[in-house]
Amino acid sequence: MTTSSIYHFFARLMQRRGYFVENNMLENFEFPDEMIAARSGSGFPDFVLKTNPDEMFSGGEFLELKDAKSHTITPFNSTLPSARKNVAMLDQNVRGQMIEAGEDLEAMPEREVYYLIRGVKRAQPSPLAKTLLVSGAFFETVPSEQVLSDAFEQVTKASIPEHMDAKEIAGYYDVQQKNFAATRQIEGSSISVRFRVMVQVDAGANLMSSQKYPMIGTNTLTLLLHENGLRQQGTFDWDDAPATIRECGAYVRLNIALEDVEHDLKRLLRVSVLHHPKNGPFFMAQV
């Protein structure tokens, strides 16, 4: 039985890494079907990985694709980027596919979220691409609920007289994403209204930026995993990484996944620690 996890998924991407520097669409990549429990034709997520009866690799991660024709990250439409999301927020079609694939939705109701992001910049003689498989924790530095609540408070403050308390007024509203997504029927109107949340990545979190993140090279495939406690500086070949990196959970799990998929892929990897300005260290593996 094929082990399905974000680590094994990355190893499979490495095997066909040349695809990501070509003039093509990310969604047309031949993703490993045997690892996937469900696909979404629209909405979040694009894929749900299968779960495993394995404590080392629980699997079940949510994956969202983001493709851009520049070194930017396309906006997140209708869903805020998160480190984890609940199965209950998935639509009926995706949950149905998961059940059909033999998944127990109640066994793991909350899943980790990852984003496969690519930016392709036109250049001569060939385009320059950056492709990253990154934990949603890179973008959720403040809980999603608080982001919505604080944003709505700002809207309230801009809409009321100065003597009124915007925080108190905003506190009466149940500011949740599902409430934004609900379709509102207006009496007497021939149209209905549905609000959508669009999230843009701030310049400080744009992993495509050469100024902000020079360690993300062009024509590379990179894995970024949130890993508390790492303090290491420098970039190392896989087998020459210092103990502080080799002993962290991300390195150990990726090492096993590479053994499972293709041992020789290790010699292609360089590892380091990326220090997020707002959310601590991330284990980084790049080819």
* pTM of structure: 0.90
Contact 215, 222 (CB under 8 A): no
Distance between the two ends of the chain, CA-based, in angstroms?
A: 27
**Could you give the count of Cα atoms lying within 13 Å of 15 in the half-sphere of its Cβ?**
17
> Alpha carbon of 136 to those of 75, 125, 207: distances in Å?
14, 34, 13
Question: Under 8 Å CB-to-CB from 67, ≥6 apart: which residues?
Answer: 25, 26, 27, 74, 117, 118, 120
Q: Alpha-carbon torsion 263, 207, 37, 5, what sign? A: positive
Q: Residue 259: enclosing H or E segment and its boundaries?
A: helix 249-261
pLDDT for position 274: 94
pLDDT for position 144: 80
Beta pairing partners, 116: 65, 133
Taking the CB of residue 111, how many other CB atoms lie within 10 A of it?
Answer: 20
3-state helix, strand, coil in the chain (%, to 5): 30, 25, 45
Cα 85 versus chain centre, distance: 11
pLDDT for position 180: 65
Tokens of 171: 């506190």
Ranges of residues in the chain whose predicted pLDDT is under 70: 1, 78, 166, 169-170, 172, 174-181
Distance CA(154)–CA(286), nearest Å, equals 40
Helices and strands (DSSP H and E) totals, the chain? 7, 14
Distance CA(238)–CA(231), nearest Å, equals 17
Q: What digits encode the pLDDT tens for the residues 216-251?
A: 999 999 999 999 888 888 999 999 999 999 999 999
pLDDT for position 98: 94
Residue ranges of domains in the chain:
6-139+201-286, 145-193
Q: Residue 133: enclosing H or E segment and its boundaries?
A: strand 128-135
